[in-house]
Amino acid sequence: MDVSIIIINYNTFYLAKAAIESVFEKTEGITYEIILVDNNSPDGSGQQLKDYFNEKIVYLQNSENIGFGRANNEAVKIAKGRNLFFLNPDTILLNNAVKILSDYLDNNPKVGVCGGNLFDADGNPTHSFARSMALSIFGIINVLFRNLPEKIMYRKNIYFNYTNKPLKVFYITGADLMIRKNIFDRLHGFDPDFFMYYEEVELEYRVSKAGFKVFSVPYAKIVHLEGESFSNKNDRINKNFLSCKIFLNKTTNQVTLFIIYLLVYFLITSRIFIFSIFQKKEKKYIWVRKYKNYGRDLLNSIHEYMGPDFIE
């Protein structure tokens, strides 16, 4: 089999239904299966999807919500495809994206991961990949200078591929990530320490470390209704921040980690100061909220790395 398409459901009946239907409508010229994993949705949407699609999909039911990465790992255990396509439930294929991405992997043996161009509900380009790591010294400095360094380096091809040709990137978003199964198995899949967010970044980090490339393939086109599958905004922010910390602790040495925490703290406090001077109340409120959510934790982290262990 060419591709195993894996979708994780958690209270997303209508979104997942539309995503699966778009796969059936647009995908041709390859063999594939759709594996739907339900993370114990309290609204019963998993069983509803199973009943609706019946034998057209392979259905897995988890006894609890084990998070995005671990749920995908469970699906891979039974996947038959040569390539794995992790597709968010809040996506809709616009063309034969599955074949386009699968063919690209098959024809480029040095590429381990690829993904397409993503569009929002209005057809506008949206976040499809990243050219550099935001959780890095360069990434924080880039934000401090309003993304000017990245704009100089990559022009407008920072988060979306306007070149109409494949483009090497740092990571593909988890909304439409295709990876060779043999590489996924070799790297032991998604790290189970991540519940949600950054699990795909960490996996692709390991893919690159293993000597394979990550590419954006713009011919594959997909709508991504970003955030629609996660309704609790505060919970989303907290899980994102926790995953950021886990990622940094796994991939960054102690000295660099200290510098990053220091830069992030400076970024937040400087933004509050600037927007207070220019009386930009709404923007100031956003950064004040970030300070309340992250500031104390960042200070504790900075203090920790300035302790005796750091000096030694």
Entry pTM: 0.88
CA distance 203 to 139: 19
Q: Chunked in runs of 10, what are the mean pLDDT values of the chain (312 residues)? A: 97 97 98 98 96 96 94 98 98 98 98 98 96 84 86 91 96 97 97 90 96 98 78 65 83 85 87 88 83 72 55 34
CA distance 4 to 82: 8
pLDDT, tens digit (0-9, with 9 covering 90-100), for 204-220? 999 999 999 999 999 99
What pLDDT, on a 0 to 100 scale, did the predictor assign at position 227?
61
What pLDDT, on a 0 to 100 scale, did the predictor assign at position 234?
61
What pLDDT, on a 0 to 100 scale, did the predictor assign at position 260?
85
Please answer whether residues 190 and 199 qualify as being in contact, where contact means their C-beta atoms are separated by less than 8 angstroms. Answer: yes
The verdict on domain 3-224 having CATH code 3.90.550.10 is yes
Which long-range contacts does 285-288 make (Cβ < 8 Å, 24+ apart)? none
Phi and psi, residue 74, nearest 5°:
-65, -40
CA distance 126 to 76: 28
Provide the residue ranges of all domains of the chain, joining segments of one domain with +.
3-224, 253-311
